[in-house]
Amino acid sequence: MSTEDAGTVNTSAPSDCLFCKIVAREIPADIIHETATTLAFRDIEPQAPTHVLVIPKEHQPDVVALGASSPKSVVELFEAVGAVAAQEGLEAGYRSVFNTGALANQMVFHAHVHVLGGRAMTWPPG
């Protein structure tokens, strides 16, 4: 969908997209990692001792749309996940979660992955 330069926000994104506003620095977030194409910040309602959201700067509603638009963007997203996990000391293990769609409890329709760690994870998760 977007052919913009890396590091910019897709201008066709909804004007009320919370994560686009974080990328644009219009609203504050506890940003812990940034690349030209990704941004990582702490979740405001953490579900684990470490709970970070990693997002592409390009607006896409979910990871499926992101992959269809730019498979490279999905790779870059996971590279950022790995960097965040290392930075946060999660070598013993962590969980990466995509909630895709309303039935999966996706609340912000901008692709993002939850990185959860710092405690033992159980299965099934939900």
Give pLDDT tens digits for 16-55: 999 999 999 999 999 999 999 999 999 999 999 999 999 9
Q: In this model, does residue 13 exceed pLDDT 90?
A: no
**Residue-level pLDDT at 30:** 98
Domain count, the chain: 1
What are the catalytic residues?
112
- The whole-model pTM stands at 0.88
**Residue-level pLDDT at 10:** 44
Q: Residue 12: pLDDT band by 50, 70, 90 thresholds?
A: low
CB contact at 8 A, 111 and 56: yes
Buried b / exposed e across 81-93, counting CB within 10 Å, b at 16+? bebbbeebebeee
Tell me, what CATH number does 27's domain have?
A: 3.30.428.10
The pLDDT tens digits of the residues spanning 60-98 come to 999 999 999 999 999 999 999 999 999 999 999 999 999
Mean pLDDT of all residues belonging to the chain? 90
- Stretch (H or E) spanning 117: strand 113-117
Task: Tell me if 3 is assigned to some domain.
Answer: no
Task: Tell me if 73 is assigned to some domain.
Answer: yes
Report in angstroms the alpha-carbon separations of 101 from 5, 48, 124.
Answer: 27, 22, 19
